[in-house]
């Protein structure tokens, strides 16, 4: 399918290849029941059929992954690293074709998709680098006795992904898992089933044993089968808070560890002493990437009252100028939302905000690009809401669309209290020139990440994850090794046994 990408344009691709992968090959669904349409967001056209895996198919994938795990976990870290480095090289070599396919299935702009795929090969490369460094500790005990620790794989891990970063999420979960000697069975979102299987093919081509990274397609039922499978050693989930709670409940029954990367309603605080040009750019980056469908977006923008008029004037001017349209065109900066229901939901939040007293300064409406080919796509004009209050629905709930809610504040103490007054805790941001204030605010914000004088900067070597209802566990960075491995302690006696009995 990647070969077809060079000539592909919006509205032309039809995906007919099987989208499941185990045993080292694509696997066609065993039956056609419960088939559902997968849409191309840019046009609203049907791109392919999604046929959910049933229990027997999930079991086959698990068995295949387990066979691979037995082999892979016995290889040295350096041997695993060589395979992963080759996989990284292939992803980099095919970055343009993978990005195009991602755009066609997801609707985000090609500029963003290229950045996502570049992040992906860097992620595989990074964890390949760590694979050879995994080591335990040696601990001296009295009389020559000693103990050592071994960092061991967990087994077959389940990965379940959201729709907003389809290929990247599959990579962010599989790269550390594989580096530690695990295998993975991954289930993409049923709305974006097309690119995870490309990753599976690349791992195979790079030399991974058959079954090391398997893909099963489906929605909640398939996800449930995966979580409840007795061979699953760990579940790593990216998605909404309500689904995350269900995953945790299912995992608790088998005492399985979980990583939960969930939603957010992150605060971005802009003080009057900021470098305003950077703060404006930061607010746009905090709200409009991937059509606003980003978990860590800073969607509650708190602006100190004195600079509010200037901030709003500039932010609205630049929001109105965002080119919305065909996501495969280089000049486009905002493509289509993932689905009609997601578009309606985001528009619904804007209507509700108006009813509750917010002022729409721009956007918040369905958008029809001039190209007739795109008439059925899920486009929305990016929106800035002014005069927001903390009790409004648009300020309390995750919208997952291009909607920025702007709130005025007066003092640092007040804004910290308001920023933390949420059950979410994924990310946060602060713009100020006062370095003491910046670090004080970062310390006091209840969130897994705080960006100072920028927003949504998340390179692979930097840990990412939530506080509170936004989840736990971390992805990216060295620390993620802890979440895909377990420690065994070996105690060695060098003398005689001293027995009390
Ligand atoms: N924190 C992060 O890193 C991060 C990253 C991306 C997205 N997200 C969050 O994801 C959400 C949007 O994604 P979404 O709409 O795809 O989320 P979602 O919760 O609807 O679905 C996520 C995945 O869970 C699966 N699923 C649904 N019900 C299930 C069940 N009962 N058992 C097992 N699996 C089940 C879905 O099929 C999908 O693959 C937002 O809340 C966003 O903030 C978080
Ligand atoms: C790459 N970003 C922008 C940090 C997004 C991470 C994934 C969240 O949805």
456 Cβ below 6 A of ligand 2: yes
**Cβ(365)–Cβ(380) below 8 Å:** yes
CA of 77 to the centre of ligand 2 (A): 28
β-partners of residue 27 are 20
d(CA 431, CA 256): 40
CA of 239 to the centre of ligand 1 (A): 2
Q: Which atom of ligand 1 is nearest to the CA of 470?
A: 1
- Over residues 218-224, the mean pLDDT reads 98
CA of 336 to the centre of ligand 2 (A): 17
- What's the mean per-residue pLDDT of the chain? 98
Going by pLDDT thresholds of 50, 70 and 90, the confidence category of residue 323 is very high
- Over residues 348-369, the mean pLDDT reads 98
294 Cβ below 6 A of ligand 2: yes
426 Cβ below 6 A of ligand 2: no
Q: Tens digits of per-residue pLDDT, 83-139?
A: 999 999 999 999 999 999 999 999 999 999 999 999 999 999 999 999 999 999 999
CA of 447 to the centre of ligand 1 (A): 20
315 Cβ below 6 A of ligand 2: no
β-partners of residue 157 are 184, 234
Q: Tens digits of per-residue pLDDT, 443-469?
A: 999 999 999 999 999 999 999 999 999
d(CA 161, CA 185): 11
Q: Tens digits of per-residue pLDDT, 12-64?
A: 999 999 999 999 999 999 998 899 999 999 999 999 999 999 999 999 999 99
Query: What Å distances lie between residue 463 and 294, 325, 430, 466, 477, CA to CA?
Result: 17, 33, 19, 10, 5
CA of 469 to the centre of ligand 1 (A): 14
**Cβ(470)–Cβ(424) below 8 Å:** yes
458 Cβ below 6 A of ligand 2: yes
Q: Which atom of ligand 2 is nearest to the CA of 169?
A: 7
pLDDT of 6 reads 83
165 Cβ below 6 A of ligand 2: yes
123 Cβ below 6 A of ligand 2: no
Q: Which atom of ligand 1 is nearest to the CA of 471?
A: 1
- Length of the chain, in residues: 501
Task: For 189-211, give the secondary structure using H, E and C.
Answer: CCCCCCCHHHHHHHHHHHCCCCC
- Over residues 178-189, the mean pLDDT reads 99
**Cβ(232)–Cβ(66) below 8 Å:** no
CA of 161 to the centre of ligand 2 (A): 13
| Count of C-beta atoms within a 10 Å radius of residue 487 | 11
The tally of CA atoms less than 13 A away on the side-chain side of residue 64 is 27
CA of 99 to the centre of ligand 2 (A): 16
Question: Which of the listed residues 239, 291, 466 should we mutate to test ligand 1's pocket, taking the one with most ligand atoms within 8 A of CB?
Answer: 239
Question: Which of the listed residues 295, 426, 449 should we mutate to test ligand 2's pocket, taking the one with most ligand atoms within 8 A of CB?
Answer: 295
Q: For residue 484, count CB atoms less than 10 angstroms from its CB and return exposed for 0-12, middle for 13-18, buried for 19 or more.
A: buried
Please, what is the Cα angle at 110 between 109 and 113, to 5 degrees? 90
- Over residues 326-351, the mean pLDDT reads 98
Question: Which of the listed residues 111, 165, 260 should we mutate to test ligand 2's pocket, taking the one with most ligand atoms within 8 A of CB?
Answer: 165
Residue 1 has pLDDT above 90, yes or no: no
- Over residues 257-279, the mean pLDDT reads 98
- Over residues 480-493, the mean pLDDT reads 98
Residue 8 has pLDDT above 90, yes or no: no
- Over residues 294-302, the mean pLDDT reads 98
- Over residues 149-173, the mean pLDDT reads 98
Question: Which of the listed residues 162, 217, 343, 426 should we mutate to test ligand 1's pocket, taking the one with most ligand atoms within 8 A of CB?
Answer: 162
183 — phi, psi (to 5°)? -110, 165
Nearest Cα residue to atom 5 of ligand 2:
294
Nearest Cα residue to atom 26 of ligand 1:
220
289 Cβ below 6 A of ligand 2: yes
Q: Which atom of ligand 2 is nearest to the CA of 290?
A: 3
d(CA 154, CA 339): 36
Residue 200 has pLDDT above 90, yes or no: yes
CA of 459 to the centre of ligand 2 (A): 10
d(CA 23, CA 204): 10
H helical segments located in 73-165 = 77-93, 95-106, 110-131
**Cβ(136)–Cβ(81) below 8 Å:** no
Q: Which atom of ligand 1 is nearest to the CA of 190?
A: 37
Q: Which residues are catalytic?
A: 261
- Report the chain's terminal Cα–Cα distance, integer Å: 70
Nearest Cα residue to atom 3 of ligand 2:
456
**Who lines ligand 1 at CB under 6 A?**
160-164, 187, 189-190, 219-220, 223-224, 227, 238-240, 243, 246-247, 261-264, 295, 398, 400, 426, 466, 471
Residue 299 has pLDDT above 90, yes or no: yes
The tally of CA atoms less than 13 A away on the side-chain side of residue 147 is 9
Residue 7 has pLDDT above 90, yes or no: no
pLDDT of 58 reads 98
CA of 242 to the centre of ligand 1 (A): 9
pLDDT of 171 reads 99
Percent of residues, the chain, with pLDDT higher than 70: 100
293 Cβ below 6 A of ligand 2: no
pLDDT of 497 reads 96
241 — phi, psi (to 5°)? -60, -45
Closest CA to 400 of 222, 98, 189, 118: 189
Residues whose CB falls within 8 Å of the CB of residue 483, separated by 6 or more in sequence, listed in order: 176, 234, 236, 257, 259, 473, 474
């Amino acid at each position: 399918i990647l070969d077809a990408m060079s000539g592909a344009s919006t509205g032309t691709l039809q995906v007919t290849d099987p989208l499941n992968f185990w045993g080292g090959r694509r696997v066609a669904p065993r039956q056609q029941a419960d088939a559902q349409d997968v849409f191309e967001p840019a046009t609203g056209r049907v791109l392919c059929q999604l046929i959910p895996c049933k229990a027997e198919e999930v079991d086959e994938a698990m068995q295949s992954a387990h066979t691979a795990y037995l082999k892979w976990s016995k290889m040295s870290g350096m041997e695993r690293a060589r395979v992963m480095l080759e996989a990284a090289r292939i992803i980099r070599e095919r970055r343009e074709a993978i990005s195009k396919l991602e755009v066609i299935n997801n609707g985000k702009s090609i500029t963003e998709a290229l950045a996502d795929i570049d992040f992906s090969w860097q992620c595989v490369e990074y964890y390949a680098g760590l694979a050879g460094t995994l080591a335990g500790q040696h601990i001296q005990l009295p009389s020559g006795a000693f103990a050592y620790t071994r960092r061991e794989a967990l087994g077959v891990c389940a990965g379940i992904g959201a729709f907003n970063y389809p290929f990247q999420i599959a990579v962010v979960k599989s790269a550390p898992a594989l580096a530690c000697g695990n295998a993975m069975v991954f289930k993409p979102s049923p709305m974006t089933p097309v690119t995870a299987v490309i990753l599976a093919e690349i791992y195979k081509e790079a030399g991974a044993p058959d079954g090391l990274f398997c893909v099963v397609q489906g929605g909640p039922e398939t996800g449930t089968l995966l979580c409840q499978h007795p061979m699953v050693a760990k579940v790593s989930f990216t998605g909404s808070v309500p689904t995350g709670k269900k995953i945790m409940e299912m995992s608790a029954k088998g005492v399985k560890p979980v990583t939960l990367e969930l939603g957010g309603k992150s605060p971005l605080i802009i003080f009057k002493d900021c470098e305003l040009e950077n703060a404006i750019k930061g607010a746009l980056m905090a709200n409009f990437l991937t059509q606003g469908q980003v978990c860590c977006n800073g969607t509650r923008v708190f602006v100190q009252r004195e600079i509010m008029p200037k901030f709003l004037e500039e932010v609205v001017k630049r929001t109105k100028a965002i080119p919305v349209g065909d996501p495969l065109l280089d000049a486009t900066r905002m493509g289509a939302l993932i689905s009609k229901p997601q578009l309606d939901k985001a528009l619904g939040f804007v209507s509700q905000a108006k009813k509750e007293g917010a002022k729409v300064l721009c956007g918040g409406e369905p958008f029809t690009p001039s190209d007739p080919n795109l008439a059925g796509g899920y486009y929305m004009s990016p929106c800035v809401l002014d005069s927001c209050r903390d009790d409004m629905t648009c300020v309390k709930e995750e919208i997952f669309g291009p909607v920025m809610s702007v709130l005025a504040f007066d003092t640092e103490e007040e804004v910290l209290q308001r920023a933390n007054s949420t059950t979410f805790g994924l990310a946060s941001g602060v713009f100020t020139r006062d370095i003491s204030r910046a670090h004080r605010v970062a310390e006091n914000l209840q969130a897994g990440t705080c960006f100072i004088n920028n927003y949504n900067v998340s390179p692979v070597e930097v840990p990412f994850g939530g506080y509170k209802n936004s989840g736990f566990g971390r992805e990216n960075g060295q620390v993620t090794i802890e979440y895909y491995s377990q420690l065994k302690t070996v105690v060695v006696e060098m003398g005689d046994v001293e027995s009390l009995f």
